[in-house]
Structure 1
Amino acid sequence: MIKYMLKDYESKLGTLLVDLNKLNNDVVTDINFAHVKRDYDHVFHDVDQHCIKIVNRKVRKLERDLNEYKNGIAYQPAHKLNYNTNNRFNRVDNVDNIDSPADGPRRSERLAQKSNSNARNGQQVFQFPPGRTNNRGPFYQQRSWVPRSVCSEPCPSGYRKAARVGQPICCFDCVPCSMGEITNQTDLDDCIKCSEFLWSDVKREKCLPKVIDFLAFEDSLGASLAGLAVVGSFVTVSVLCIFVKFQDTPVVKANNQELSYILLISLTLCFLCSLIFIGHPMRTTCLLRQPAFGIVFSVCISSVLAKTVIVVIAFNATKPSSNLKNRVGSRKIPSSIIVSSSMLQIIICIIWLSSATPYPQNNMNSVPGKIITECNEGSAVMFYCMLGYLGLLAGICFVVAFLARNLPDRFNEAKYITFSMFVFISVWLSFIPAYLSTRGKNTIAVEIFAILTSSAGLLVCIFIPKCYIILLRPDMNLKEKVTGK
């Protein structure tokens, strides 16, 4: 009776094994397996208890195979399983064997897995008998790679996971870490922020020490500006020497040579004060550089203003009804203009230093990845008050020189003063937006460039024409030529 029932079982089992073969070709779903399981349940009612144990083992084996397939073990597509109805089951040495013409090319053993609590740990469930071969390969082979159970690849170091809206948690995008953040492991949810003195590298994989940056003499920019400052001061000193050597000539005497000396000395200091801005900021340099720049430039502009006022006085003194004849050649007027104008700037600087003293600081945030060592001006209001006062002096000087531009030839210096003040005002009006829009050492470079440019403008516009006459056109350096008589 059992023999006939086993034959019927084998026929049904063959059909079920064909269904299992489809699992290798089709998408595996719980519905496919439920169909196979249901057919096996029908067999349970047709065989005795001994056959039920064998069939139950086969069902558990199918359950394990299906779970393993879902959890990462794939069937080799080049060696698909081929089941047919000629399978035979026998039991030798307490091992269930499958005899089939579709067996693999070599003996293959399958150990039971711990995923099923009813499976026997470490015991063989079935094996292919030796010598049974087929050119289509073994029952299945385990791949060297494991299929992913998520829909996204792991995020490499330097990236973080960002969940996709409306999708399962296993689906995400890999987003690069922001500047100053890193991930030194794969598949992390959040990036790690570097400390205050560290910064992330290009790959966002590790934190590196921030670069300490300032306008140094060793930098190409700092060296260039320092070279220009030295050259400018050398040229100014050379012009001063020329004026001292030819002090008795009409061109030098034409417009108060003492004011020319003061102006040339102040221009030399203007060029040299820019060197204080270059180098590592220290408390002394931070304390001196802006006040020195403001005071020296106020003396310079005051000297130009005094020269312009003397031109106006000399021209008006030629009128018959003028009361200014006694003031022509007086040294009190230019001296009072220079002292009074400079003292106001000195007072502004004293208030600045006493209320908000400048000091060196490390700026961590202005330039990413760098620590900018710079001078904190203490009070931005006082800094712009100093610049505003210089602008006021330059504006007054420009207006006076512009009104005196059509004076006789003897006083044609007013034309050059007008143009020099126009250059000065243009440079410093351009300086303010450039100063506010730059960061780090470029801010200091902009201010140094403005100092050098405005100083060079005054030197070239006022003194180079006179040097041309003194050195190259001595025939024009005569009293008759200068006075026009």
Structure 2
Amino acid sequence: RKRINVWIQFTKMHHCVKCPDHQHANTERSHCLQRTVTFLAYQDPLGMALACTALCLSALTAAVLGVFLRHQHTPIVKANNRALSYILLISLTFCFLCSLLFIGPPNTATCTLQPIAFGLVFTVAVSTVLAKTLTVILAFKVTAPGRRMRRLLVSGAPNFIIPGCSLIQLTLCGVWLGTSPPFVDSDSHSEHGHIIITCNKGSVTAFYCGLGYLGSLALGTFTVAFLARNLPDTFNEAKFLTFSMLVFCSVWLTFLPVHHSTKGKVMVAVEVFSILASSAGLLGCIFAPKCYIILIRPEENCLRDLKDRRSSMGNRHSDR
């Protein structure tokens, strides 16, 4: 009997049972321990830093909008299409704020709002840059009265680019949500001892279709702005638009390989950082030079200086 009992105890000690998904084995592999549920929270140093950055940048964008509203009758604000500048600043504010949807405990509402908010606000921002670029081209290339393109400029035709591009992105988001919408998912393999709660993209094809459309729009805007960079613009608007789109495209081209090589909370942090970096690139490259002239060099923001610079640049352009 002693031999039989010893043999039974020996077999029990070496009998291996797989732990459930919500548990993990200890280092001795003798017991199952409860996994810790984790996500990119506001209490984490990384989440707190990203959230504070998003709020500060959104407040800075609102401050720039206030500067433009206060100096709306000055030449530099008028010369750069006030309405489009306001739309771009408002859309950039929402770009910064939409990154907060990626921080905190994921739920059905936030997972559904992420693609809609991200896709729409960035499409509005990029299409506004495209409309500003086309306005610059029409203003400096089409000077003969009576031309059809001049009538397009007077009628504000470039402004229809924004609702047109946004409607396409809205359609893509609607198809995405109608076929395979994002949902709350758990990842128990990326980090040992942790269950990471994330938003599953649902349809990967729909995700890359929306991202590809936004990338194509950004690339087209960069191409148009690059071709218009040498126009005799009084405040060099075309050059600033070109550089802003170069920064924007560079950020998202870097995002793709990094996004594929990361998992869990780090992947979410990469998404938030890309949103903040690309939005900050648009804000800094387009509006920082204008705020510098408005606030630091107000003597250059006058009608007389505007006419002098316009005539001198026009003479240099004719000499070429």
Whether these two folds match at TM > 0.5 is yes
How do 1:226-241 and structure 2 match up within 5 A? 226-241=51-66
Contact persistence 2:140–2:233 (CA under 8 A)? no
One-letter code of the match for 1:307?
A: K
- String of CA shifts for 1:159-189, please: whole Å, max 9, x gaps: xxxxxxxxxxxxxxxxxxxxxxxxxx99955
Distance 1:426 1:194 in 2: 44
Q: Which has the higher contact order (CA 8 A, sep 6+)?
A: 2
- String of CA shifts for 1:372-422, please: whole Å, max 9, x gaps: 111111101101111101101101110010000001132610101100000
Contact persistence 1:277–1:444 (CA under 8 A)? yes
One-letter code of the match for 1:469?
A: I
- String of CA shifts for 1:193-228, please: whole Å, max 9, x gaps: 322211123343432111111111111111110000
1:467 maps to what in 2? 291
Distance 1:192 1:324 in 2: 75
Distance 2:29 2:14 in 1: 15
User: Are 1:336 and 2:160 counterparts?
Assistant: yes
Distance 1:374 1:357 in 2: 14
How do 1:155-166 and structure 2 match up within 5 A? none
Contact persistence 1:316–1:324 (CA under 8 A)? no
Equivalent of 2:259 in 435, 450, 456 = 435
Q: Indicate how the Cα distance of structure 1 residues 329 and 323 shifts in structure 2: closer, same or farther if over 3 A, else same.
A: closer
Equivalent of 2:236 in 395, 412, 423 = 412
How do 1:265-280 and structure 2 match up within 5 A? 265-280=90-105
1:293 maps to what in 2? 118
Shift of 1:230: 0.1
Distance 1:269 1:409 in 2: 29
Distance 1:404 1:480 in 2: 25
One-letter code of the match for 1:289?
A: Q
How do 1:61-460 and structure 2 match up within 5 A? 189=14, 191-318=16-143, 323-331=148-156, 333-410=157-234, 412-460=236-284
Contact persistence 1:317–1:323 (CA under 8 A)? no
Task: Judging by fraction of residues, say which structure has more helix.
Answer: 2
CA RMSD of aligned residues (A): 2.0
Distance 1:477 1:424 in 2: 28
Distance 1:384 1:321 in 2: 44
Q: Indicate how the Cα distance of structure 1 residues 213 and 259 shifts in structure 2: closer, same or farther if over 3 A, else same.
A: same
Counterpart secondary structure, 1:218: coil
Distance 2:175 2:152 in 1: 35
Distance 1:231 1:412 in 2: 28
Contact persistence 2:126–2:218 (CA under 8 A)? yes
Distance 1:326 1:428 in 2: 36
Shift of 1:362: 1.7
Contact persistence 1:367–1:439 (CA under 8 A)? no
One-letter code of the match for 1:403?
A: L
Counterpart secondary structure, 2:198: strand
- String of CA shifts for 1:70-116, please: whole Å, max 9, x gaps: xxxxxxxxxxxxxxxxxxxxxxxxxxxxxxxxxxxxxxxxxxxxxxx
Distance 2:158 2:103 in 1: 34
Distance 2:197 2:150 in 1: 57
Distance 2:233 2:223 in 1: 19
Distance 2:118 2:174 in 1: 14
Counterpart secondary structure, 2:155: coil
Shift of 1:327: 3.3
Unmatched segments (≥5 aa) in structure 1: 1-184
Counterpart secondary structure, 2:29: coil
Q: Indicate how the Cα distance of structure 1 residues 319 and 407 shifts in structure 2: closer, same or farther if over 3 A, else same.
A: farther
One-letter code of the match for 2:179?
A: S
Aligned length: 301
Distance 2:233 2:113 in 1: 42
Contact persistence 2:92–2:125 (CA under 8 A)? yes
Shift of 1:264: 0.1
Q: Indicate how the Cα distance of structure 1 residues 204 and 482 shifts in structure 2: closer, same or farther if over 3 A, else same.
A: farther
Task: Judging by fraction of residues, say which structure has more strand.
Answer: 1
Larger-gyration structure (1/2): 1
Q: Indicate how the Cα distance of structure 1 residues 353 and 345 shifts in structure 2: closer, same or farther if over 3 A, else same.
A: same
Counterpart secondary structure, 2:174: helix
1:95 maps to what in 2? none
Counterpart secondary structure, 1:324: helix
Equivalent of 1:478 in 298, 302, 307 = 302
Distance 2:252 2:266 in 1: 16
Higher mean Cα deviation, 288-297 or 189-198?
Answer: 189-198
